[in-house]
Structure 1
Amino acid sequence: MSERHFDVWAAGDAYERYMGRWSRRVADAFVRWLGCPPQGRWLDIGCGSGALTSTVAVRCRPRALLGVERSAGFAATARAAAPPPARVVVADAQALPVRDAVFDAAVSGLVLNFLPDPGVALGEAARVVRPGGVVAAYVWDYGEGMGFLRHFWAAATAVDPSAADHDEGRRFPLCRPSALRPLWTGAGLTEVTVAPVEIPTLFTDFDDLWTPFLSGQGPAPGYVAALAPDVRERLRRTLHERVPARADGTIALTARAWAVRGRKPGAGAA
């Protein structure tokens, strides 16, 4: 296969079937870790299909909540799912259509590593947060903490050695504390904290794990969609042999994200 990656971000509903259930759980854990400024103004940068936007709307009861998402298909899914007062617009995380110092908190879930220049996006987040406000995000720990993806890419590489080039664990060195902390301090943010957020990922059976890889949305499903049918079937069989199923057929794994937060210097606490 070519060095081209297979990241596809077009259909929010299809992505929900692949990662949405885990995205919602980690969003909830992240918001509980972060805390909620009372009646705050929130911005969700790269809101995807709306897992974090919806969680903030329900848990934090914000005065205002704006989600921005570059993919029109994902924005439509987020717009349909997020309760008031959430508003979702199509916009680029690296050029936010927002005035300076408007928000109390700018957050981002599972997207920073996919941006062409995460530093620019983080600078934009810091720009639109008021002095004393919070800038926070979380990314999957692709290298070590995503059990089902580690099994997937090990199986894919056994079938197709070139698959290693598409493994998010190799592609995204940003997704570890040693890279996240300096990104935040480099943006001029203070009181920087990095912490693990871990959730269980329980699959009812192998089909519950495998079928979402056929969604075509995201790096691994995009890779699967590009395979010839016979290679795809060999991958399915190899993955089935690898994953540790329990006696009742369930597959109990875990997924870990790294969460990071910092504060914009200046008067006033969020």
Structure 2
Amino acid sequence: MTERRFDVWAAGDAYERYMGRWSRLVADGFVTWLGCGSGLRWLDAGCGSGALTSVVADRCRPATLLGVERSPGFVATARASASAAVHFAVADAQLLPVRDAVLDVAVSGLVLNFLPAPDTAVAEAVRVVRPGGLVAAYVWDYGEGMGFLRRFWDAAIALDPSAAALDEGRRFPLCRPEPLRALWTGAGLVHVAVAPVEVPTRFAGFADLWEPFLAGQGPAAGYVAALAPTARTRLRETLREAVSERPDGTILLTARAWAIRGHRPK
């Protein structure tokens, strides 16, 4: 299997049900952890459907806020729910359409692992913030902390060992604190800190957990879309057995992200 062909992120509405609802929760915890004041100039690199952008706009009262995203579909979704004060550009986080040293804060949420050159993206973020400016990001803990994805891949691999090649926990080294810290320090950032951000993922029932995997957004859903109908049914039933429903039919799991921040030297 070619792993990257399953990394499809294009339809903002489909992403919202699959991952966006949890992205918004973790974005709120991330912004709280940053503790930035109002009136700053912000960039959200790889803004996706606008989860982090909207939290920054609501919580931080920025002087300016630009969301950059390479998927036009995601930009359309983000723009539809954003205030008129938030601006968006269809562009790559690895080549930002921003002048040097003009921003106070550059952030990204859940995007670094899906970039061909995350070190280039961090270097770009460093370039566009002023001396003393903040560069921060967060990524899912695919290895251990994403409860519903961990159960999905464990079920898939039990039925099809070749699925292990697509498991984000195995593919993405940046889902752990130490490689993240090395990326930040390697970019010349100082006062680097890493912290977990954990949120509940409550599903109304098994259908609420399973059906987003049918929308084709991201590696897991891309894998499901490529399965024959009988194999898809086996995976669905194996996953159903791997999760526990509460008396009211809901399924409660948790999702953990690793957050990192650092400052451009003055």
TM-score by length of 1: 0.96
Question: Structure 2 CA distance, aligned partners of 1:52 and 1:80?
Answer: 15
As a proportion of its length, which structure holds more helix? 2
Give how far 1:188 is off: 0.7
Question: Structure 2 CA distance, aligned partners of 1:84 and 1:29?
Answer: 24
Q: What is residue 35 of structure 2 aligned with on the other side?
A: 35
SS at match of 2:122: helix
Q: What is residue 10 of structure 1 aligned with on the other side?
A: 10
Aligned sequence identity (%): 74
Give how far 1:118 is off: 0.5
Alpha-carbon deviations, 1:43-69, whole Å to 9, x = none? 000000000001100001101000000
- Aligned AA (1:179): P
- Aligned AA (2:66): L
Give how far 1:3 is off: 3.3
Question: Structure 1 CA distance, aligned partners of 2:200 and 2:3?
Answer: 32
Q: What is residue 165 of structure 1 aligned with on the other side?
A: 165
SS at match of 2:113: helix
Q: What is residue 238 of structure 2 aligned with on the other side?
A: 238
- 1:62 maps to 2:68: no
Question: Structure 1 CA distance, aligned partners of 2:157 and 2:91?
Answer: 36
Q: Which moved more, 1:78-87 or 1:200-209?
A: 78-87
Matched ranges for 1:189-200 at <5 A: 189-200=189-200
Q: What is residue 114 of structure 1 aligned with on the other side?
A: 114
Give how far 1:38 is off: 2.3
Answer yes or no: is the 8 Å Cα contact 1:56–1:62 preserved in 2: yes
SS at match of 1:174: helix
Question: Structure 2 CA distance, aligned partners of 1:257 and 1:121?
Answer: 19
Alpha-carbon deviations, 1:6-47, whole Å to 9, x = none? 111111111111111100000011001111232000000000
Q: What is residue 187 of structure 1 aligned with on the other side?
A: 187
Give how far 1:82 is off: 1.7
Alpha-carbon deviations, 1:180-213, whole Å to 9, x = none? 1111011111000000000001111111111111
Alpha-carbon deviations, 1:219-270, whole Å to 9, x = none? 111111111111111100000011122222211110000000001111xxxx
Question: Structure 2 CA distance, aligned partners of 1:168 and 1:81?
Answer: 29
SS at match of 1:216: coil
- Aligned AA (2:19): M
Structure 1 moving runs of 4+ over 3 Å: none
- Aligned AA (1:161): P
Matched ranges for 1:1-270 at <5 A: 2-5=1-4, 6-266=6-266
SS at match of 1:200: strand
Answer yes or no: is the 8 Å Cα contact 1:57–1:84 preserved in 2: no
Give how far 1:81 is off: 1.5
Question: Structure 2 CA distance, aligned partners of 1:83 and 1:232?
Answer: 40
Answer yes or no: is the 8 Å Cα contact 1:139–1:259 preserved in 2: yes
Question: Structure 2 CA distance, aligned partners of 1:195 and 1:154?
Answer: 26
Alpha-carbon deviations, 1:154-202, whole Å to 9, x = none? 1111121111110000010111111011110111110000000000011
- Aligned AA (1:218): G
Give how far 1:121 is off: 0.4
Answer yes or no: is the 8 Å Cα contact 1:108–1:137 preserved in 2: yes
SS at match of 1:248: coil
Unaligned stretches of 5+ residues in structure 2 = none
Unaligned stretches of 5+ residues in structure 1 = none
Question: Structure 1 CA distance, aligned partners of 2:54 and 2:65?
Answer: 10
SS at match of 2:98: coil
Answer yes or no: is the 8 Å Cα contact 1:58–1:83 preserved in 2: no
SS at match of 1:104: strand
- Aligned AA (2:38): P
Answer yes or no: is the 8 Å Cα contact 2:201–2:254 preserved in 1: yes
